[in-house]
């Protein structure tokens, strides 16, 4: 009997600013082979729904395995694209299957994030199941946690410390054989969006902060980012978009740190129904960056002039603030300060305000 085979690599990435990102290709291989050892007898693990198939794959991933064998009753359940959507961290998945009595036997093979194995080792304090690569990555996670976080910090303080560490220590690099995982990001210092997202998720898991990932599109490219839950409210975090391609700034951007779903939707798109569990309709977001950084709310040109003048007088190199006014002018405020200097600024629109970051060179 014929065995059918499909190969589906997972998510692509994007580039910030230039929006010329890389995309991991989706490949379909319909070649036929009779040499892969798929049994004619129905496998022990039986599934009659996508939920059951996904559960078996998730169990295999959590055990640090890369293959599982499943019997399904209906050929329509053989859908690797659906599995990619519902099993976090799969980088590539291949399914081969054979028709047998009353259904189909599937051999599902995959490459996935190291997050599952590393979190199992972290929670059990047993690293014996980790391979050499995973152990290196595990030790790096522990080292960074000890370096930048503290059990005496609040969750949002530790979250911000991890965000800033990743932005400062990873470079967004796009190559023909793009680098997608946490090892590339944390050990080699280079990655695309999924490397940032996997790192951030693993750190949040280790810190005990409820979190997940969202896959969708940004900058006309497939993209993945994170969500965290703090005091019952979901916030969205895009570490990759806070690390702009080609930036030489020594300052960390926070435009996409702990923003609302409505704010993320200004330039990101995703299946809002699928990820509806991460939507919060709260009237208060006390752990947004603007709130925790206590950014000034500047709503007139006079207020801006005063803020800029005081910043220059104290020779601060950078100032961040928010404004709900469309009438403020950075150039006018610099001129009013009466000092010749170079400056640059970035403004990021949000639903209720605009976030400004101004950098001065004296």
Instruction: Work out the mean pLDDT of the chain and round it to a whole number.
Output: 87
pLDDT at 29: 34
CA 61 to CA 358: how far, in whole Å?
Answer: 45
Average confidence (pLDDT) over 205-234: 94
Write down the pLDDT at residue 247. 61
* Confidence (pLDDT) at 116: 87
Q: What was the pLDDT predicted at 129? A: 84
Q: Tokens in use for 131?
A: 């391979």
Lowest mean pLDDT among 193-202, 234-243, 245-254: 245-254
Strand runs (DSSP E) across the chain, as ranges?
3-9, 46-47, 67-72, 90-100, 103-112, 171-172, 190-191, 211-218, 221-230, 233-237, 268-270, 296-297, 318-323, 342-349, 354-361
In this predicted structure, what is the pLDDT of residue 207?
98
Q: Is the pLDDT confidence value at 115 over 50?
A: yes
Helix (H) or strand (E) holding 133: helix 132-148
What pTM was computed for the model? 0.82
User: Is pLDDT larger for residue 88 or for residue 283?
Assistant: 283
Cβ contact 54:47 at 8 Å: no
Average pLDDT over residues 210-236: 94
Confidence of residue 33 (pLDDT cuts 50, 70, 90): very low
Mean local confidence (pLDDT), 251-259: 95
Averaged pLDDT, 30-50:
76
**Which residues on neighbouring strands pair with residue 356, listed in sequence order?**
321, 347
């Amino acid at each position: 009997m014929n065995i059918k085979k499909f190969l589906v690599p997972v998510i692509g990435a994007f580039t910030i600013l230039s929006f010329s990102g890389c995309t991991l290709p989706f490949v379909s291989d319909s070649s036929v082979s009779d040499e892969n050892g798929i049994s004619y007898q129905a496998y022990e693990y039986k599934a009659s729904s996508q939920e059951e198939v996904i559960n078996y794959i998730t169990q295999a991933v959590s055990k640090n395995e890369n293959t599982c064998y499943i019997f399904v009753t209906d050929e329509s359940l053989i859908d690797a694209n659906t599995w990619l959507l519902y099993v976090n961290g799969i980088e590539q998945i291949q399914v081969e299957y054979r028709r047998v009595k009353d259904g189909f036997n599937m051999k599902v093979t995959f490459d996935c994030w190291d997050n599952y194995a590393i979190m199992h080792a972290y929670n059990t304090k047993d690293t014996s199941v980790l391979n050499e690569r995973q152990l290196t990555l595990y030790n790096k996670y522990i080292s960074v946690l000890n370096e930048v976080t503290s059990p005496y910090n609040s969750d949002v303080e530790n979250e911000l410390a991890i965000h800033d560490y990743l932005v400062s220590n990873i470079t967004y690099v796009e190559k023909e054989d793009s680098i997608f995982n946490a090892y590339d990001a944390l050990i080699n210092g280079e990655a695309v969006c999924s490397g940032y997202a996997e790192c951030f998720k693993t750190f949040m898991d280790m810190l005990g902060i409820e979190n997940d990932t969202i896959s969708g599109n940004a900058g006309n490219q497939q993209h993945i980012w994170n969500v965290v839950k703090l005091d019952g409210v979901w916030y969205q975090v895009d570490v990759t978009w806070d690390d702009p391609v080609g930036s030489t700034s020594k300052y960390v951007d926070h435009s996409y740190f702990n923003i609302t779903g409505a704010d993320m939707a200004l330039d990101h798109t995703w299946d809002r129904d699928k990820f509806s569990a991460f939507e919060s309709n709260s009237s208060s977001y006390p752990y947004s960056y603007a709130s925790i950084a206590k950014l000034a709310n500047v709503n007139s040109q006079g207020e801006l002039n005063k803020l800029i003048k005081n910043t220059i007088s104290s020779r601060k190199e950078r100032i961040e603030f928010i404004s709900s006014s469309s009438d403020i002018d950075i150039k006018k405020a610099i001129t009013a300060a009466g000092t010749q200097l170079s400056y640059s600024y970035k403004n990021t629109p949000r639903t209720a305000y605009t976030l400004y970051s101004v950098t001065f060179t004296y």
